Amino acid sequence: MAVRIFLTIIFILVSIALTVIVLAQQGKDAGLGALGGAGDTYWSKNKSRSVEGKLVKFTKILAVCFILLAVILNLNF
């Protein structure tokens, strides 16, 4: 019973963190800059090293944790 309460608390924290991180990310729109080639900048080529790239990676990790916790919490143990 205590394990289920602990997992529920972790699930709620992961849910809140996932919501905040998704809302903090910028959209994928290139805007009108893509027409003139302005979308090909140093930052657009090296997004994995930027803060935005780290947010995307952390979002994926939190999403996997969210799904795993949801499945575990739905098991009757």
Q: What is the DSSP letter of 26?
A: P
d(CA 52, CA 25): 7
pTM for the predicted model, two decimal places = 0.71
Structure tokens at 18: 């996932």
d(CA 44, CA 41): 5
CB 7 within 8 A of CB 73: yes
Read off the pLDDT of residues 1-41 as tens digits, 9 standing for 90 and up.
899 999 999 999 999 999 999 998 877 665 555 565 555 55
Read off the pLDDT of residues 42-70 as tens digits, 9 standing for 90 and up.
555 666 678 888 899 999 999 999 999 99
> Sign of the CA dihedral 17, 54, 66, 10?
negative
